Chains A and B, each alone.
Chain A
Amino acid sequence: MTTLNIVQTVNHTLRDEMRRNGDIVVLGEDVGVDGGVFRATEGLAQEFGQNRVIDTPLAESGIIGISIGMALYGMRPVPEIQFMDFIYPAFDQIQSELAKFRYRSGGQFTCPLVIRTPYGGGIKGSHYHSQSTEAFFTHTPGLKVVIPSTPYDTKGLLTSALRDPDPILFLEPKRIYRTVRGDVPDEDYSIPIGRAKVVHEGNDVVVFAYGAMLHVAMEAAELAAPSGISVEVVDIRTLLPFDIETIIASVQKTGRVVILHEACKTCGFGAEIAAQIAERAILHLKAPIVRVAGYDTPFPFILEDDYMPNAKRVLRAIEKVHNF
């Protein structure tokens, strides 16, 4: 057991899995000598050499396109997109190629690879180092989208991702890369993709969250406790395909729902959860569903703290559904 933060866990998990599987290669901008701008790949080039930790030209479409070719040939590339905000030049490669290869070829050609990219706000990064645009990718059949919120889950989920037969977008909440620490077992373990986790049990209200917002949800649950509101917190963990059973079970248990994400509200992932609840459990609801989300604006700079959902805003939503 070692106490690690999230970015260290990413690093150790990549290292361990690269030791086990010689087909895994890491590639991207600055991932080699520099160890990545967040140091997620630190030391890997030294241990595995430049043939397995590859500094690429600065072209996201190329990074993903090259990775697809390598995966088709039988390797397991782990491309890093330096910030999720820079993933769009590769959007065509992800949407039209990566996510469709298995389907369009009738299962003849597959691209098992893991795209790692830091996402989300709260680091004073302005428009282009802060966005959470996971919904673009959860609207993509053929792709799996995974977001950890703790070091323990980071190792378990990344290990699963690196062994999964399908392409995976692994979004790393950079705001909590270093602030959230936890015990991580040294031995090999994995957490199945597609399973949510009830992080905190409660009876009155359920808050669904993921990534950095999971911790905001936990803080809000604590703030609500003194007023006698028992809050359940569920970490979605896999956004596609998400864990419908755990979600519906918590709705049936509490009847009052808050959905939390930092991505903008309209057509965000919360809308899908709300719709699923409406389709499957509307008669269990005792109050309208409330979403707490980023505003429908470009990501701000100086007013970032006002943009990002915080525990007080979530508490207000909890109280609203509780007192309805």
Chain B
Amino acid sequence: MTLEPLQVIKPSGECVETMEPEISHDELKRLYRLMVLVRNLDTRCLQLQRQGRIGFYIGSLGQEAAQIGSAYALGPDDWVFPAYREVGAMLQRGVPLESLMNQYFANAEDVQKGRQLMNIYGLKSVNFVTGSAPVATQLPHAVGAAFAAKLRGDRIVTLTYFGEGATSANDFHAGMNFAGVYKTPTVFFCQNNHYAISVPVEKQTASETIAVKAKAYGFEGVRVDGNDILAVYRATKEAVDKARSNGGPTLIEAVTYRIGPHSSSDDPKRYRSNQELDEWQRRDPLVRFRKYLEKKQIWSEMDETKTQGDTNHQIDEAVAHAEKIPRPSLETLFTDVYSELPWHLQEQLQDLKDEKEERR
């Protein structure tokens, strides 16, 4: 276990050649464009929230490399159990931007029928399991699904996202412990973004690192530079391959930083200094990856301008579409509580309809 996180791309954009993963130029460029899309999406969504057009927004500014790099290491049949901040992972997984935007506007085309806050999202077709706001509850789910797959002989891996704050919660222990005992094919991906809302990582744990916690559960912990997409990909790919070949679980600590607020309701100026923020902004994952692509001579100023324009246009279109769709129907307040509407919900739905009728 080293304290120094695994790094593939140096801040200068130089690459540690022996560590460079084999990824085609087209794929490298696609990954970068996706990072730009996520960055621009985040920026736009915070604006939309401020304008009162969407509700409470949870962004991932600064964590694009950690999310996209890790999700890129998964196979199409693998399952993801997110927390609530994993926009990059969703898009990498294949969630259409339009589908995500329908969720933000909580409209009738939202697969979740307008029932959850922004980015607490899931899409079954890409095995991206619907998350929730309670912290760390998804860890045992990821372990359970991996355990079920293992019992059935399916060669799939589950990956679960959580923050460093979640490592204090009881379900971190419950999930990690079970995974260790039953050697489930699970990757525990911790985005250590240094803050659980306002509480710094030093107040979450006296442990030297998050990664070292894996040792007590009988498996490997890896510490990686979370702002280095290739390092994240490399570490996750190794963990995924190990899990798939019956090597059991891995804990990955991606050291990163939440550049933005915890949510649209948070003011980070209350708990962290501008100096600290500046330091981390200098380690921007997009800037680093772009320098790498430029050094490889596969990215130009023209590519950059085009990508900025294209992604913003894509977002504009998704917003324009989603904003036009009406709210979900009144029935959706009651459906999906159970597989069928029991009598008391039928009665309550009728009451609501009658009340609406009378109000007219």
Contact = CB atoms under 8 A, between A and B. Distances in A.
B144 interface: yes
Contacts of A107: 335-336
A42 B174 CA distance: 26
B1 interface: no
B342 A62 contact: no
A241 B145 contact: no
Given A61-B140, A74-B148, A101-B130, A66 B170 contact: no
A68 B144 contact: yes
A96 B137 contact: yes
Given A68-B140, A104-B132, A106-B112, A59 B336 contact: no
Interface stretch (B36-44, B47-55, B115-123): B115-123
B177 interface: yes
B149 interface: yes
Interface in A39-88: 51, 56-57, 59, 61-62, 64-75, 77
Interface in B143-191: 143-149, 151-152, 158, 170-171, 173-175, 177-178, 181
A16 interface: no
B329 interface: no
A241 B343 contact: yes
Contacts, number: 144
B107 to A, nearest CB: 12
A72 B145 contact: yes
Interface residues of A, number: 44
A100 B123 CA distance: 16
Contacts of B174: 57, 59, 61-62, 65-66
Given A62-B178, A65-B139, A92-B134, A70 B116 contact: no
Contacts of A51: 151
A105 B124 contact: yes
A128 to B, nearest CB: 19
A108 B130 contact: yes
B46 to A, nearest CB: 24
Contacts of B356: none
A279 to B, nearest CB: 11
Contacts of A165: 339
The size class of the interface chain B forms with chain A is 35 or more
A5 interface: no
Contacts of B149: 73
B141 A96 contact: no
B339 A65 contact: no
B171 A61 contact: yes
A108 B337 contact: no
Contacts of B151: 25, 51, 75
Contacts of A230: none
B124 A103 contact: no
Given A61-B174, A62-B171, A105-B124, 9 more contacts: A62-B140, A66-B174, A66-B178, A68-B141, A69-B146, A69-B148, A93-B137, A241-B338, A244-B344
Interface of A: 25, 51, 56-57, 59, 61-62, 64-75, 77, 89, 92-93, 96-97, 100-110, 141-142, 144, 165-166, 194, 241, 244
Interface of B: 79, 81, 110-113, 115-116, 120, 122-124, 129-130, 132-134, 137, 139-149, 151-152, 158, 170-171, 173-175, 177-178, 181, 335-339, 342-344
27 contacts: A51-B151, A57-B181, A59-B174, A59-B177, A62-B140, A69-B140, A69-B158, A70-B148, A72-B129, A72-B144, A72-B145, A73-B79, A73-B144, A92-B134, A96-B132, A96-B133, A97-B132, A97-B141, A102-B336, A103-B115, A104-B120, A107-B336, A108-B111, A109-B124, A109-B130, A165-B339, A244-B343
